[in-house]
Structure 1
């Protein structure tokens, strides 16, 4: 008698910034479980005392496991792998939900769970980010690096607290959809977390991201030379998803750029969808936020590094751009 291997479990990551409403959404999703199925939930809290698990009903047909202390997105993978393996082997779920801490980087978690080791066990569904609509008017809140990193990882955004949104929130929501159209496929406006599971039961699209040395450094390396893993600045990366390509650079914060030369370079670019960056310049720290309708730049708080992303749907000569970008720098020390 032939024993069939278990099918990969449909697996949803439900993420979002602190207080966005992830657990409320999860509760509504769990209420949609068919009677004959077993669903499992892996929850992660940054602190050492679990609270969310107490909010999920401990009923027959559910298996809940908490991972406390730290973040399963970016801390050592071993505790997460052990907890997840045990949950899968002990409960043998028909569907799995993972709720990382609001301080996590879900893109890193998704990258871990799409590695070959997990492909026979997990069938990843579209990454869901829950956004608190009532806070969209707070520009400092939505411009935090962690917040924007989560949005860039999302394939689906669920807008929560829509009943508390004012006009400024709705205007900011419209701008947010425009800004992240190259990343997010689906936007769902949910009242009290009420979202139908079929709206989220979508296969996760693969994201191809390659982090490399600066193109200038790659040019002088021999083709046979094995490139070291990139662990520190400066580096260049290219990411492809949903028909768009993102070319990005992260450079040391001590590198200072000539502001007017940099502005001229960015304004001269062609055939792009979005340009965003922040730089240490001889005029102080400056942020750039360009779309085809508006070229915006302004003074900014000091950043942890110089960085820029260019989103395009057409071929770009990244080496030519990087060469011109580095020419704007006043004190490269490589």
Structure 2
């Protein structure tokens, strides 16, 4: 490689719209540029990468926990694989439960200094969460915002005046001041923020990794041809996740699946599913179900739920298996 690759970390808590924002950036990128995206998800079933693959980006997924745990071998393997393809830009989306300082420490280490030009870290926040004790008392939530030079208040179309005031007050109170902040809706990030230079704060020792029991060397897996589906669970940082991967030969009833996701009380639901109407991406945050049609064909259906409470996974699995028309 003859030039460093401009790189941005795009962070933010669960359900804030990171994936939607990256999809919008990919749609508006210069047509002559090749971008790469490293996606890290708390759950064991990779879903965000499936949504991004339609935009022609180079995708590498690191599922199975927060990136502070996977900032070792899996993260390095993923970054190296993407850099070998000589992208014009690299975007990194840590899980909504991740610690961005540890990712920054890895990217600014001697290993990547010749290859990565780390730009400003961008943190998305739902302004409504800045008035919610559940979020403002969460250390990860605060770490993500504290590590970023650029703050984007997303979902402004769903906010009221008090939410906007809370966002503006929060930005005003920050020391050191943030380089840039903006209120947007539906993840419409201005492309130019990717070129904002980062501040160089006190050094973060990459050896001071934050470890969890769920960290694994290579958590990725494939569905065995003889298996109709597989289930994987994860837990850590006060959250539980459960995900399913269903064979491409199974199709779910769209209406039934939409009703199921609408009724579930999980804090976060993501899915890319083959239905009787075609392939669709489902995204559930704060009880709102959004749906986007996808052009994927022959794709394995992926469903992931995250909640701060342990949910009746087996009961839910029985429902999904029935909706998929699988006989056990």
TM-score range, shorter chain: 0.5 to 0.7
Per-residue deviation, residues 160-195 of structure 1 (Å, max 9, x unmatched): 010111232123212211232425221111121112
CA distance in 2, matches of 1:154, 1:59: 26
8 Å CA contact retained: 1:43, 1:99: yes
Shift of 1:230: 8.1
What secondary structure, in the 3-state scheme, does the structure 1 residue paired with 2:151 have?
A: strand
Deviation of 1:199 (Å): 2.3
Question: SS at 1:119's partner residue?
Answer: coil
Does the residue aligned with 1:11 lie in a helix, a strand or coil?
Answer: strand
Q: CA deviation at 1:48?
A: 0.9
Matched residues, number: 209
- Note if contact 1:151-1:180 (Cα within 8 Å) is conserved in structure 2: no
Sort the Cα spacing of 1:59 and 1:163 in 2 relative to 1 into closer, same or farther, 3 A.
closer
Q: Equivalents in 2 of 1:52, 1:119: separation in Å?
A: 28
8 Å contact 1:158–1:188 — kept in the other structure? yes
Q: Which residue of 2 aligns with 1:9?
A: 5
Distance 1:114 1:33 in 2: 25
Segments of 5+ residues of structure 1 without an aligned counterpart are 212-228, 233-334
- Higher relative contact order structure (alpha carbons within 8 Å, sequence separation ≥ 6): 2
Aligned partner of 2:41 among 25, 38, 45: 45
From 84, 98, 104, the equivalent of 2:79 is 84
Pick from 143, 150, 168 the counterpart of residue 149 of structure 1.
Answer: 143
Taking a change above 3 Å as real, the CA distance of residues 231 and 151 of structure 1, as seen in their structure-2 partners, is: closer
Q: Larger C-alpha radius of gyration, 1 or 2?
A: 1
Maintained 8 Å contact 1:152/1:184:
no
The normalised TM-score by structure 2 is 0.60
Please list every run of at least 4 consecutive aligned residues from structure 1 whose deviation after the TM superposition is greater than 4 angstroms: 229-232
Q: TM-score, normalised by structure 1?
A: 0.59
Residue in structure 1 matched with residue 326 of structure 2 by the alignment: none
1:273-292 alignment, distance < 5 Å: none
Residues 1:96 and 2:97 aligned together: no
Task: Give the aligned partner of residue 63 of structure 1.
Answer: 58
Q: Partners in 2 of 1:167 and 1:27 — Cα distance? A: 28
Q: What RMSD, in angstroms, separates the aligned Cα atoms of the two structures?
A: 2.2
2:186 aligned with 1:189 = no
